[in-house]
Structure formats: structure tokens, C-alpha cells
Structure 1
Amino acid sequence: MSAPAGFRRRYGASPLHLLLVLVSFALAVYAGLRLFEGDTFAVALWFVGAALLHDLVLLPLYSVTDRAVQALFPRGRSDGRPAPRVSVNHVRVPAFASGVLLLVWWPLVFRQVGHYTAATALPADGFLGRWLLITAALFAASAVVLVVRTWRWSRDQRQGRGSATK
């Protein structure tokens, strides 16, 4: 057995994967050290607060939301015929992207930054409308993908049924 094959068997991935993981860890450590050069207590407090907010508020919230979406899209039909495989990812992905955008831009979306115009000479209004438009576009694109997948599935089912009767 060659050395790369033995490495892959023991490690589970290629040496390039290991190298990229080690480089990403080194980059994270470097960024963390640079971050802690400022106000160490405030940074540590922010990390602990973010972890608690995620674990105690956001995780239960998006878990319940995910269960509700899964209940809206059942896996099969009651008559026993196969149903199109509708993935809840058609809701998860645009909701996640919209949430990340809101998390990053929330002060501007909710007009909580009074000095923005003075610092940038740009108007601070319009961020809420843009965020809503981006969110609508994300969900619309996901809906189009869902419609196309469902249409292809039903076409394949019709073609399969037609070939079975011949």
C-alpha cells in the first residue's frame, strides 16, 4: 500500500485537507490573538454573551421553526403514492442568509447608528428596504428552485408511468 493511500485510510481524507485544516486553525489563532490585543475583557464578555444568546435563545428558536417547516412539508402522501421530495432547505437556506445579513447590518437596518451619515457622508435610510428586498429575492429564488424540482419530479413520474404501461 502506498504512503498517500495509507495516510488517507488512517486520516480519512487527503493530506491537502489536513494542510487546509491546520492553516485555518493557525489563521483563527492569529485572529484571536489580534482581537485580544484590544479590550480583552469586553471581547471575552462578547464571546460568552454570544454563546449564551445562541445556546439559550437562538438554538431553541430555530429548532422550533425548523420542526414547524418540516411539519408543513410531509415526506409522503396518505394514499400511499410517492410524493415529491420537498426539502426544508428551501426555507432554511434563504432564512439563514437573511438572518446573517440582519445580524451583520442590524444597526443600519433598524437605524440605530446616528453617526453613520456623518462618518460616511452616505444616507442611513434605505437599509431596511434593501434588506427586505434581498430577503424577498432569496425566498423567491428558493421558491423557483422548488417549483422547478417539483415540476421535474412530476414529469419523471409521468414518464415512468407511461413507460410502465407500454
Structure 2
Amino acid sequence: MVERASRFRTAYGAGPAHLLVLLACFTLTGWVALRLSGEADAIRMLLWFLGAVVAHDLVLFPVYATMDRGLRRFAHRPAVVNHIRVPALASALLFLVYLPGILGLGGSTHTSATGREPTPLVGRWLVLSALFFALGAITYLVRRRRGPSAGDRTRR
């Protein structure tokens, strides 16, 4: 049994649990695709999804990988990196999700869908981003004041 699992891991590249999770994800994705196939906007959604994949792989990933490499080079302490990386990720995700509202786009669509005038979100996004970074800085300072953790001691 152990030999069979070892051969499977060697051939597949990961354990059986990984394969099961992937199969579950593909099943869920297929179900959603079938549910959306009857929608009038299915082609637009598919094109948007493919555009998002291309934009991420060709534009966003190189940008944030380069920024992360620069951050790791700039921050001499490894503990600092995650206290900047996590707030930056949260801020970037909020920006992507609320991009039209932050940039003031899609006002007529928002009004027709909700019956309300859109409120500018750029101020709220900036405040939330500042709070994310402030929380990251406070967390870093608290951890630094406590002293090195067990993980920091093993890295030395």
C-alpha cells in the first residue's frame, strides 16, 4: 500500500488528497458553468473570466511578484515582509473588487440596478487601506516588543 502511494505521488506529483480536491473544484466549476450556460450573458461572463485570467497571468502576477521581490530586498528583517504584504494584498483585492466604484465608473449601471446614485468609494478605500497598513504596523510593533518568536530563533 505504501509503495503504491509512493508511486502515485511520483507519477502525479502530489498526494491523493490534492487530486480529490482538484476533482471537487472541477466538478463545482462544471456545475456552475452548466447553470450559467442558459443565461443570456453567458458569453460575456466567459469572455470576462478569460480576460481576467490573461490580465492576471500577463500583467498582475509579474507586477506583484516584482514588488514582492523588491520588498524582500528592501526589508532586511523577514518578519517585516508579511506585515506589509498582507495589508497590501487586502487593499489590492478591495481595489479590484470595487474598481468601478473607486474609479467612478458604471454610475448609470449602478443607478439602474439599485435605484440609488453611486457613492464615491475612493475615500472609503483609502481609509480602509490606511487602516490595514496601520493594523499591520501595530501588529509588527507588538510582536517586536514581545521578543523573537520560536520561528525567529530557529532561523538564526
Asked if TM exceeds 0.5, the reply is: yes
Larger Rg: 1
1:102 to 2:95 alignment: yes
Question: Within 5 A, what are the aligned runs for 1:74-153?
Answer: 74-75=76-77, 85-115=78-108, 116-153=110-147
Contact 1:36/1:43, CA 8 A, preserved across alignment: no
Aligned counterparts of 2:37 and 2:80: Cα–Cα separation in 1: 41
TM-score, length-scaled by structure 1: 0.67
Contact 2:95/2:102, CA 8 A, preserved across alignment: yes
Q: By how many angstroms is 1:69 displaced?
A: 0.9
| Unaligned residue ranges in structure 1 (runs of 5+) | 2-7, 76-84, 157-166
- Count of equivalent residues: 142
Structure with the bigger percentage of helix: 2
For residues 93 and 35 of structure 1, do their structure 2 counterparts lie closer, same or farther at Cα, with a shift above 3 Å needed? farther
1:44 to 2:51 alignment: no
TM-score, length-scaled by structure 2: 0.71
Question: Within 5 A, what are the aligned runs for 1:50-89?
Answer: 50-75=52-77, 85-89=78-82
Aligned counterparts of 1:122 and 1:27: Cα–Cα separation in 2: 34
Aligned counterparts of 1:102 and 1:137: Cα–Cα separation in 2: 14
Would you identify which runs of 4 or more consecutive aligned residues in structure 1 move more than 4 Å?
A: 8-14, 17-24
Q: By how many angstroms is 1:31 displaced?
A: 1.4
Q: For residue 79 of structure 1, what is the aligned residue in structure 2?
A: none
Aligned counterparts of 2:120 and 2:45: Cα–Cα separation in 1: 31
Question: What do residues 73-92 of structure 1 show as CA deviations (whole Å, max 9, x unaligned)?
Answer: 114xxxxxxxxx52411111
Question: Within 5 A, what are the aligned runs for 1:29-40?
Answer: 29-38=30-39, 39-40=41-42
Identity among equivalent pairs (%): 40
